[in-house]
Amino acid sequence: MDLTAFAAEVGPLSAGPVAAAGGLTQWDVGGESTPGTRLVHAPAGIDWIEPAEMTVRCGAGTTVADLATALAEQGQRVALPEWPGATVGGVLAVGRSGIRRLGDGPVRDAVLQIGAVRADGEVVTAGGPTVKNVSGYDLCRLFVGSLGTLVLLGDVILRTRPLPAARQWLAGPTPDPFALRRRLDRPTTVLWDGTTCWVLLEGHPLDVAAEAALARADGLVEVEGAPPLPSGDRRSIPPAEVRHLRGRFVAEVGVGVVHRVAPVPGPQVAPNPSIIALHGRLRERFDPTGRLNPGRSVLTSG
């Protein structure tokens, strides 16, 4: 995708504070942009889908839903959360995964190549178009989750996967969702709210049926889909700590993302000074004048 127009919109260092806006579905992550920050929009649209390569190239402004629809026509999907209105660039800039993460992996692993605009308005390409690549530094992973503070995402090449032939949600009270997860072979999702467990099984219909039988033996029954997730607070904790959660929550077993209605006060762990220093040096190199999404803090976004 030609990023010339997007680069011109971002402008040179002298063009002042700028941030890329996607669907604004996670706009609060990392705090608010400094007032006066100009919003720019990355191009939208799908360049190509290569089903035989299992890759797709699209503008960062493309909505994940549009991408998912186009890929579904080819029997494929990407490991990006399909939040209504969310764009590919927005989801990658924030870096948070959806509830299929246990099976699909983190969003960063779906990215093969990123075209972006730097603070000085130059276009940079990171990564490569092939499904396997260790040519040079892995800037793509540095950019995913960087909240647009290092570069502004313009377009991406993503890895796709075949759509599963069958899928089934089950739910019910289970004494031990952790043991159930271990008994199942690579479930796509295991959610738990302290009493009820939800699982998503995907794959060959006979395998899904066999795995569903294991879940039923644990007291689960077929249901339509996932429970509504509380949206007031989202935490990332070591998955081993999920079993010790108390209060109202829905947790992603095996992953460690916890959804709550409201934040629960807890100890704040300050990052190690050398981590803070390294973040500072990265910001200094990539954005010496501090024009990219000023006001956002990646270190407090978790």
- Residue among 44 and 100 whose Cβ is closer to another protein: 100
Residue 248 CB, nearest approach to another protein (Å): 20
Residue pair 219/206 in contact by the 8 Å Cβ criterion: no
To the nearest whole angstrom, how small is the minimum distance from the Cβ of residue 38 to another protein?
A: 23
Q: Decide: residue 229, CB within 10 A, 0-12 exposed, 13-18 middle, 19+ buried.
A: middle
The number of angstroms, rounded, from the C-alpha of 221 to the middle of its chain's C-alpha atoms is 29
Q: Which positions ≥6 away from 81 have C-beta within 8 Å?
A: 64, 91, 96, 97, 98, 99, 100, 107
Smallest separation (angstroms) from another protein to the CB of 148: 12
Start-to-end CA span in the chain (Å): 32
The sign of the torsion formed by the CA atoms of 16, 20, 24, 26 equals: negative
Q: How far is the CB of 168 from another protein (least distance, A)?
A: 13
Residue nearer to another protein on the CB measure, 44 or 88: 88
Minimal distance, residue 266 CB to another protein, in Å: 13
C-beta of 28 vs 52, nearer to another protein: 52
The structure tokens listed for 268 are 């704040």
Q: How far is the CB of 96 from another protein (least distance, A)?
A: 6
Nearer to another protein, 219 or 239 (CB): 239
Complex with another protein: residue 221 or 299, whichever CB lies closer: 299
Contact between residue 191 and residue 259 where contact means Cβ atoms under 8 Å apart:
no
CB nearer to another protein: pick between 34 and 133: 133
Smallest gap from Cβ 212 to another protein, in A, equals: 12
**Beta strands per DSSP E along the chain:** 18-20, 38-40, 46-50, 55-59, 76-77, 111-117, 123-127, 152-159, 161-162, 166-173, 189-192, 196-203, 221-223, 233-236, 250-252, 257-260
C-beta closer to another protein: residue 9 or 252 = 252
- Judge contact between 195 and 138, C-beta under 8 A: no
